[in-house]
A = this chain, B = another copy of it.
């Protein structure tokens, strides 16, 4: 018999958020710990266990947890392992699913954070009822989760959906954290927006309130704050970001012909400042047979809940 709750854990580079979720997607209780507090993964898992056990007891949910789902960077759905090349304080690979299953005595499934977000959106958010959509997460980096025919695309090795690393500029592209140049992520992440700000302020001479901030400290939030007061350079930064993102989405349509793109993450808070240029660029660049047929949606989940909800949805699959 299916138990009434699942646990969702969103393991970020800074914070690890977790919660108890019911079958309707209500977050019954949630909390978080600092990911980097412990130099050993075992200690981190001990604290996670202590805190989650506390939540479970407080909500009288002992023996009522069907499974645990975790969204984590570079987490491989097939192997349950956090693979190399990730910004975490412990040596990789980390057999996270096994470690958690053993500690909690509850079956656990992991996947990367963008996939978890897509599953959350499909189960509880803007993508409910959609069988073919692409989720793009616009945070510190750019991630993606692809759903085709109602199924998450994991690829043959669990690493499908790295659309943040499709090349948008083949000449003189920006350095990307992946070691290559010109990736979508280098332009359309929060970091990318801040880089665009630095570039625009350097090459342009018109006034901008952004010039009052030390150039290396400008964040995408600063650009947003300036743009809503009408600052021309700030608005142009979002135009530029949106144009590139729209070009990318147009290419992605040629792959899986999705019913919708769902945008998620900090940058979407800029609203029309970013969504309008994305939509215009998508319409302008997309192949004729897709034009006007692909919806452009924004996540309907509270960002704080979305990652927990998405991860938790995996808990229902866990055996």
Q: How large is the interface on A (under 10, 10 to 19, 20 to 34, 35 or more residues)?
A: 35 or more
- Within the complex, what minimum Cβ distance (angstroms) separates A87 from chain B? 14
> Taking the full assembly, how many copies of this chain does it contain?
2
- Give Cα A162–Cα B287 distance, bound, in whole angstroms: 9
Q: Which of B160, B179, B285, B287 contacts A255 (CB 8 A)?
A: B160
Check if A85 sits within 8 Å of B288, measured CB to CB. Answer: yes
Closest residue on chain B to residue A134 by CB atoms: B255
Q: Is the CB of B287 within 8 A of A155?
A: no
Q: Do the beta carbons of A155 and B289 come within 8 Å of each other?
A: no
Q: Smallest distance from the beta carbon of A145 to chain B beta carbons, Å?
A: 12
Tell me whether A159 is interfacial, beta carbon within 8 Å.
yes
Query: Could you say which residues of chain B place their CB within 8 Å of the CB of A170?
Result: 168-170, 247
A156-B259 in contact (CB<8A)? yes
The CA of A148 and the CA of B152, in the complex, are separated in Å by 10
Interface of A (DSSP majority class): loop
Decide yes or no: A155 and B288 within 8 Å by CB, A148-B148, A170-B247, A247-B170 being known contacts.
no
Task: Tell whether, in the assembled complex, residue A146 and residue B256 are in contact, meaning their CB atoms are under 8 Å apart.
Answer: yes
Q: CA A107 – CA B151 in complex, angstroms? A: 28
Q: Per-position contact with B for A288-305: 1 when CB-CB < 8 Å, else 0?
A: 111001000000000000
Apart from A167-B251, A179-B288, 10 more pairs, CB < 8 Å: A83-B289, A149-B153, A149-B154, A153-B255, A153-B256, A160-B256, A160-B257, A163-B255, A167-B247, A180-B287
Can you list 26 A-B pairs with a CB-CB distance of less than 8 A?
A85-B288, A132-B156, A146-B255, A148-B155, A148-B160, A154-B257, A155-B258, A156-B259, A157-B257, A157-B293, A159-B257, A159-B289, A160-B256, A161-B254, A162-B254, A165-B254, A166-B254, A167-B247, A167-B250, A167-B251, A168-B170, A169-B170, A170-B247, A178-B287, A179-B288, A255-B255
